[in-house]
Amino acid sequence: MSKVAIVTDSTACLPKELAEEHGIRIVPMNIIYKDRVYQDEVDINPSEVYRLLENGNTLPTTSAPSPGAYIETYRELSQRAESILCITLADTLSAVFQSAMQAKEMARETLPHTTIAVIDSHSAAGAQGLITLAAARAAAAGQSLEEVIRVAEEMVDKVYLVGVMDTLFYLAKGGRIPKAAAWVGNVLKFKPVFTLSQGKPSPLTAVRTRSRGVERMLEIMRQKIGTKKLLQVIVMHTNVLAEAERLKERIASDFDGAEIYVKDFSPVMGVHTGPGLLGIAFYAD
């Protein structure tokens, strides 16, 4: 029996093989479309969600996993681990943290011999994934629950996420920004470059072309890394895999020795950004 099992949700943008290799259990988010509920990457994949965005008049909506989904996960993991650490999407972005915490309270009676901890990643997507990956590697090394929590919490301040969106249309359609702002942005061909800080998305700048957006992301990466060494990167995309692979190659050529992965951007957030997003989450030390 291992000391610590690691859980996260499907917004973490962890490649399936990487999660399986490190024993990370992923609880799927829910995607609702025309009265049907899908489990993210269980009975619907990201490409299918983005096709719904492009072809349908109705936007999908999303919801957090239920406490029941978490309690079932905790129950399964209690069979092979003394304790469980659940790392969630930022509480400011979703009810995932509250759902995982409710399940933790429910487990006090049903799983009295298993210690469960839940922490807010204050992040999302690949940044959340890198925090989770660091915790899983610490757990695999035999560290205690307290030590694994410390590793995860230290990573919260070390990871960074930046992305460029292809359009403002979906933010406006979902009511996240005024339609007039999206209209002006699309007419002027603005492509927003954004980051996620302390659980809140923030605009950094706007560019006129996707190529300039990629260059700006790389500039920001270099500025954030400074004299440190780039260790890990997750390149994220919404239905533009070929561009994501080219970006991966570019990063690999510029930063020798970094672990670089490519993953679909979580549809739970992608329904707001739309197809065409490119992003990078990275960690340097």
Q: Which is nearest to 277 in space by CA: 167, 138, 123?
A: 167
Give the per-residue pLDDT at 59: 78
| Confidence band of 22 (pLDDT split at 50, 70, 90) | very high
List, for residues 87-108, the tens digit of each pLDDT value: 999 998 889 999 999 999 999 8
| Confidence band of 276 (pLDDT split at 50, 70, 90) | confident
Average per-residue pLDDT in the chain?
88
Compute the radius of gyration of the chain from its Cα atoms.
19
Tell me the average pLDDT across 216-224.
94
**pTM of the entire predicted model:** 0.92
Distance CA 176, CA 63 (A): 16
Give the per-residue pLDDT at 170: 65
pLDDT higher than 80, residue 176: no
Give the per-residue pLDDT at 188: 44
Q: Give 146: exposed, middle or buried? Use CB within 10 Å, 0-12, 13-18, 19+.
A: exposed
Distance CA 97, CA 5 (A): 17
Structural domains in the chain, CATH included, are 2-29+64-156 (3.40.50.10440), 159-284 (3.30.1180.10)
